[in-house]
Chains A and B, each alone.
Chain A
Amino acid sequence: MKTPIYLDNHATTRMDPRVLEAMLPYFTEKFGNAASRNHEFGWEAEKAVDNARKQIADLIGATAKEIVFTSGATESDNLAIKGVAEMYAEKGNHIITAATEHKAVLDTCKKLEKHGYRVTYLPLKGDGLIDLDMLRESFTDKTILVTIMYANNEIGVLQPIAEIGKMCRERGVLFHTDGVQAIGKVPVDVNKDNIDIMSITGHKLYGPKGVGALYVRRRNPRVQITAQMDGGGHERGMRSGTLNVPAIVGLGEACAIARREMPEEMKRMRYLRDKLKSKLEAGLDEVFINGSMEHRLPQNLNMSFLYVEGESLLMGINDVAVSSGSACTSATLEPSYVLKALGLGDDLAHSSIRFGIGRFNTEEEIDYVADKVIDVVKKLRELSPLYEMVKEGVDLSKVQWAAH
């Protein structure tokens, strides 16, 4: 076993060697521009791009023509939300989203608010899911778009996408979902879930960075979005710019592998995750799972280790790459807004660790990580005045803290 161990697969994933192999020829001998219509080089590139389009579409139950290539999910989210807002401005100006969305969605919505759009930010229930009744009540006759992520990047919680899609369809409101954490990890079907627009990225499913896609429904209803970048009118006029052929080939191959191997991989991921969870729960008291375990990606575990601060825990497990919701690990010195939206106190958010298991993790690694975390948490609790107080029977919520 080699260290450091990578357990941060919600941040990015290692590229699958099979993906790299598929990409390589398109850097060198097959270097054509997919938009060159009148020679062999262009045709070859276009054929590769069309194949990738089909591979991506097959993974999500779409058709190849519904795939628009972008530079990644941030661009896809921007294009979807701003593109719909602009295209359907005459129909309405109201967008519904949720408090735990990725910043690419939240900040795009905030930008639109400055331009006169109204945005509803749905709060979350304690388990991280949106409240469907609250969503139902949030629609107005001005609502043009609902944008709710498929799976959350911190707590891995899967939103009730099919129900949201149905609700939107019944009201003639478009439904966009940021699918980056879910696609390739769990079955996603744009028709079954009534998804109209969906953001996709390469590097979260063992593909390359810097490439993504936007699924844009063509039938029932035909969705139109206004391009956010002017240029050669590539991608059916929705996204100009010469296509990044090698990366697109890689994204396609990553989707094809995910589709083939998903049933097996889901089982293996769930086994490893559940093993990690049960080992940590057996080895430590006062641990707390953040978010629903029932509606959750099989790759994700987000746990708070009470009375231990997240950054000090990361420091102790420095040969394991994970993330913390602790303020100390963020540039803003604010604890995770996702965990806070679940109603967690700052103290629990400060104590949280996100484990993201991936295709290349082994059982040996999971065992090592569990043992190491247990060791370090125990050591830090020896150091923790809070743990000592709790063991003495002090109710921490009743203490008057001298905040600084």
Chain B
Amino acid sequence: MAYSDKVLDHYNHPRNVGSLDKSASNVGTGMVGAPECGDVMKLQIQVNDESGVIEDAKFKTFGCGSAIASSSLATEWLKGKTVDQALQIKNTDIVNELSLPPVKIHCSVLAEDAIKAAIGDYRAKQSSKASAPAEQTVA
């Protein structure tokens, strides 16, 4: 299978690889996929509590080159966006940017799911912080 130049570029030079402190209240973590399916994506965002802007984003992905590229691209796009703007990222945007072939569309879907899961986790932490007494860790 031939890969697009952009997929190759993200595969060879993945952006924002790594992990953020998943216990921090301003970090949202999304983990989607399953090893049996051949892809697992972990995507994390760190949000500025005041401005609601995503200051940092990191990923780690087990999967094919297109899955790695989709999540690498997603972290690039997330940085600097507000959480609400981030929710607007669609898998089709990723498909177009990376010129993914039809058999690889599920990689982009997974990346969109990972974004949503990370934001969901962040929001859950925020609302429990607001309702719960201060400094209590949420399991």
Residues of A within 8 A of B (CB): 307-309, 311-312, 315-316, 326-328, 333, 335, 345-347, 350, 382-388, 396, 401-404
Q: A327 is contacted by which of B3, B33, B38 (Cβ under 8 Å)?
A: B38
Distance, CA A335 to CA B38, complexed state (A): 9
Q: Does B79 contact A (CB under 8 A)?
A: no
- On whether the beta carbons of A401 and B113 are closer than 8 Å, the reply is no
Question: By the criterion CB–CB under 8 Å, are B63 and A309 in contact?
Answer: yes
Measured CB to CB, the closest approach of chain A to B37, in angstroms, equals 6
Main secondary structure on B side of the interface with A: mixed
**Residue in A312, A333, A335 whose CB lies within 8 Å of B63:** A312
Residues of chain A contacted by B36 (CB below 8 angstroms): 345-347, 350, 401, 403
Q: Please name the residue on chain A nearest to B65 by beta carbon.
A: A315
Contacts A315-B3, A402-B31 given; does A384 touch B62 at CB 8 Å: yes
Taken together as a complex, chains A and B put the C-alpha atoms of A386 and B33 apart, in Å, by 11
24 A-B pairs whose Cβ atoms sit less than 8 Å apart in the complex: A308-B62, A312-B11, A312-B63, A312-B64, A312-B67, A315-B65, A327-B38, A345-B36, A346-B37, A346-B38, A383-B14, A383-B17, A383-B68, A385-B41, A385-B60, A386-B40, A387-B62, A388-B42, A388-B60, A396-B35, A402-B32, A403-B34, A403-B37, A404-B109
> With A385-B41, A402-B34, A404-B110 given, can you name 7 additional A-B contacts, CB distance below 8 Å?
A309-B64, A315-B64, A383-B62, A401-B40, A402-B33, A402-B117, A404-B33
Query: Is B17 a contact partner of A401 (Cβ separation < 8 A)?
Result: no
Partner of B39, one of A309, A335, A387: A309
Cα-based distance from A327 to B67 in the complex (angstroms): 14
Return the chain B residue nearest A348 by Cβ. B35
Check A383–B35 contact: CB distance below 8 A: no
* Assembly CA distance A345 to B35 (angstroms): 9
Expressed in whole angstroms, the minimum distance between the Cβ of B69 and any Cβ of chain A is 10
In which size bucket is the chain B interface? 20 to 34
Asked if residues A401 and B34 are in contact (CB atoms below 8 Å), the reply is yes
A371 and B113 alpha carbons, distance in the complex (Å) = 36
Closest to A397 in B: B35
Measured CB to CB, the residues of B under 8 A from A are: 3, 11, 14, 17, 19, 31-42, 60-65, 67-68, 103, 106, 109-110, 113, 117
Which chain B residues border A327 with CB–CB below 8 Å?
A: 38
Q: How far is the CB of B35 from chain A (nearest CB, A)?
A: 4
Residue of A nearest to B37 (CB): A403
- Contact with A404, one of B37, B61, B103 (Cβ below 8 angstroms): B37
CA distance A385 to B113 in the complex (A): 16
Residues of A within 8 A of B34 (CB): 401-404
B38 → chain A closest CB, angstroms: 4
Least CB separation from B36: chain A residue: A346
User: Contact at A326–B38, with CB atoms within 8 Å?
Assistant: yes
Residues of chain B within 8 A of A333, CB atoms compared: 103
A346 to B35, CA, bound (A): 7
Determine the distance from Cα of A303 to Cα of B31 in the docked complex, in whole angstroms. Answer: 27
In the complex, A301→B49 CA distance in Å?
53
- Chain A residues whose C-beta falls within 8 Å of the C-beta of B35 in the assembled complex: 345-347, 350, 386, 396, 401
Question: In the assembled complex, how far is the CB of residue A305 from the closest CB belonging to chain B, in whole angstroms?
Answer: 11
Q: How far is the CA of A109 from the CA of B113 in the complex (A)?
A: 42
Find out whether the CB atom of A385 lies under 8 angstroms from the CB atom of B42: yes
Q: Could you tell me the distance in whole angstroms from the C-beta of B91 to the nearest C-beta in chain A?
A: 11
B61 close to A383 (CB less than 8 A): yes
B residues near A309, Cβ cutoff 8 Å: 38-39, 62-64, 67
A328/B38 in contact, CB under 8 A: yes
* A286 to B: closest C-beta gap in Å: 13
**Chain B nearest CB, measured from A384 CB (Å):** 5
Residues of A within 8 A of B62 (CB): 307-309, 383-387
Check A315/B11 contact, CB under 8 A, given A385-B60, A396-B35.
yes
Contacts of A315 in B (CB 8 A): 3, 11, 64-65
Q: Are B32 and A404 in contact (CB under 8 A)?
A: yes
Of all chain B residues, which has the CB nearest A333? Answer: B103
Q: Which residue of B lies closest to A326 (CB)?
A: B38
Closest residue on chain A to residue B117 by CB atoms: A402
